[in-house]
Amino acid sequence: MLKNDSSHVLTVKELSDYLKVHPSTIYRQLKRGRLPAFKVGSDWRFNIESIDRWRLDQDVFKSM
């Protein structure tokens, strides 16, 4: 049986709080295809582990 652990999935608002950016920044990055995300109906959702990996990848690009 799969455990339904939704604490690892964030909404746009939760992600904007987590990253300390405005929700419009999240939507802009989604439009450009720059964030790992998936849709549930018409709403975007974000896996926290994927976001953390994405953040680390961004730091690597900046240091190059």
Any idea what the CATH number is for the domain that residue 26 is in?
1.10.10
Q: Could you tell me the pTM of the whole model?
A: 0.80
Number of domains in the chain: 1
DSSP string, 4-64: --GGGEE-HHHHHHHHTS-HHHHHHHHHTT-S--EEETTEEEEEHHHHHHHHHHHHHHHH-
The confidence score (pLDDT) of residue 58 equals: 84
In a domain? residue 25: yes
Dihedral over alpha carbons 22, 17, 13, 25 (to 10 degrees): 30
pLDDT digits (tens), the chain, 64 positions: 445 555 699 999 999 999 999 999 999 999 999 999 999 999 999 999 999 999 998 876 666 5
Asked whether residue 3 is assigned to any structural domain, the reply reads no
Residue 1 lies in a domain: no
Q: The tokens 């405005």 sit on which residue?
A: 22
- What is the domain range of residue 34? 8-63
The verdict on residue 45 lying in a domain is yes
Sheet hosting strand 9-10, strand order edge to edge: 9-10, 43-47, 38-40
